[in-house]
């Protein structure tokens, strides 16, 4: 039988979340990007078609370490819109940027500079939270109907665990991961994806309940995890191959999204194989014991009533 490591895994998850909370309360929380904080928008006529990588290299060369947002516009895609976070001396920064870009694009011409607000505002974040909560509620209802209520509780616990764990890892590695609007998309993607392996496991648990109904729920979970392990590993690895390829070959904006998805997928696999099934087993075993205790109490109560009835009959006078 496969060893139950759920308590150890929950302790590891709790430790990661605790570290993230401490960092957040000490002023080292998420590395908020320009989608949330706003920034400066530079517009240039490059004089020819250009590569975004050249602008990123120029920004990096003058000491800008965050991920910029670069868009092409104009009839021939020769206008560059460069969105960055606020800098201390915008005029000096602009002069350095133009000097760096002018080495490769001598026809560059400054058009305008604007201060822009946050794209991902309060309403967008609030709507994303509502989306997660509504999705969790609907999944609870669906899984409770298809399997049982305890399965629904365990699945929702797994979804919330994966989202919180992904956010915690993003906080811990804030020096390398910047949070922009793609982070919200990543969270919503993980909500849909992380349930897959859990459904596979619960389907196996349902089958094994028919075969090994007398076994403890923990033992049935261990058997089910062992039987569905290969399928869950295959699904996860196949998905990771595609996402890692996107991370390696993609542009900075897609790399941010891909990295957050990788973290979420790993968290989902971890919770599906080590935590969710045992959460179901915990509640299901207690529900089973409660039913058995109620049944025994009902039997004992019936026996007591029967004994009282017999004794009352024996004590009553013979009216024959």
Average pLDDT, the chain: 83
Q: Mean of the pLDDT values across residues 55-59?
A: 88
Q: Mean of the pLDDT values across residues 182-201?
A: 83
Which of 105, 118, 119, 115 is CA-nearest to residue 44?
A: 105
Residue 103's φ and ψ, nearest 5 degrees, are: -65, -35
Q: Does the pLDDT of residue 33 top 70, yes or no?
A: yes
pLDDT for the residue numbered 29: 82
Q: Mean of the pLDDT values across residues 192-215?
A: 85
Residues 243, 265 contacting (CB under 8 angstroms): yes
Q: How far is 124 from 261, CA to CA, in rounded Å?
A: 20
pLDDT for the residue numbered 320: 43
Residue 77 confidence class, pLDDT cut points 50, 70, 90: confident
Q: Mean of the pLDDT values across residues 7-17?
A: 90
pLDDT for the residue numbered 211: 85
pLDDT for the residue numbered 122: 67
CATH fold for domain 39-116 = Alpha-Beta Plaits (3.30.70)
Which of 241, 242, 247 is CA-nearest to residue 182?
A: 247
pLDDT for the residue numbered 144: 86
**Weakest-pLDDT range from 105-119, 158-172, 215-229:** 105-119
Q: Mean of the pLDDT values across residues 242-256?
A: 84
Which of 225, 274, 222 is CA-nearest to residue 6?
A: 274
Which helix (H) or strand (E) segment is 234 a member of? helix 217-249
pLDDT for the residue numbered 53: 86
CATH (residue range 6-28+121-293): 1.20.1640.10
Read off the pLDDT of residues 121-133 as tens digits, 9 standing for 90 and up: 567 777 778 888 8
Cα-trace Rg, the chain: 29
pLDDT for the residue numbered 22: 93
Q: Mean of the pLDDT values across residues 83-108?
A: 85
Q: Which residues contact 42 (CB under 8 A, 6 or more apart)?
A: 80, 81, 82, 83, 84, 94, 97, 110, 112, 113
Is 26 or 300 the better-scoring residue by pLDDT? 26
- Going from N- to C-terminal start, the domains of the chain cover 6-28+121-293, 39-116
Strands (DSSP E) along the chain, which ranges?
A: 31-32, 39-45, 69-73, 79-84, 109-116, 178-179
Q: Mean of the pLDDT values across residues 296-308?
A: 70
Q: Mean of the pLDDT values across residues 48-55?
A: 86
Total-model pTM:
0.73
């Amino acid at each position: 039988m496969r060893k139950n490591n759920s308590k150890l895994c929950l302790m590891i998850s709790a430790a990661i979340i605790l570290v993230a909370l401490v960092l957040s309360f000490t002023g080292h929380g998420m590395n908020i990007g320009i989608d949330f904080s706003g920034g400066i928008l530079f517009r240039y006529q490059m004089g020819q078609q250009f590569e975004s990588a050249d602008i990123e290299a120029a920004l990096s060369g003058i000491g800008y370490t965050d991920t910029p947002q670069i868009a092409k516009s104009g009839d021939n895609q020769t206008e560059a819109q460069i969105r960055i976070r606020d800098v201390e001396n915008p005029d000096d920064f602009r002069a350095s940027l133009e000097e760096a870009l002018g080495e490769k694009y001598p026809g560059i011409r400054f058009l305008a500079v604007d201060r822009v607000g946050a794209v991902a505002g309060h309403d967008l974040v609030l709507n994303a939270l509502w989306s997660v909560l509504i999705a969790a509620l609907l999944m609870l209802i669906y899984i409770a109907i298809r399997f049982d209520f305890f399965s629904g509780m365990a699945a929702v616990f797994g979804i919330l665990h994966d989202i919180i764990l992904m956010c915690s890892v993003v906080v811990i590695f804030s020096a390398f991961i910047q949070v922009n609007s793609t982070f919200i998309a990543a969270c919503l993607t993980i909500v849909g994806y992380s349930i897959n392996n859990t459904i596979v496991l619960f389907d196996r648990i349902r089958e094994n309940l028919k075969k090994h109904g007398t076994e403890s729920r923990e033992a049935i979970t261990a058997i089910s995890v062992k039987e569905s392990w290969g399928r869950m590993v295959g699904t996860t690895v196949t998905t990771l191959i595609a996402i890692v390829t996107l991370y390696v070959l993609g542009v900075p904006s897609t790399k941010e999204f891909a990295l957050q998805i990788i973290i979420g997928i790993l968290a989902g696999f971890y919770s599906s194989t080590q935590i969710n099934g045992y959460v179901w087993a915990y509640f299901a075993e207690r529900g089973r014991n409660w039913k058995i205790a109620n049944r025994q109490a009902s039997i004992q109560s019936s026996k007591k009533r029967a004994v009282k009835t017999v004794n009352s009959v024996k004590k009553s006078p013979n009216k024959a």
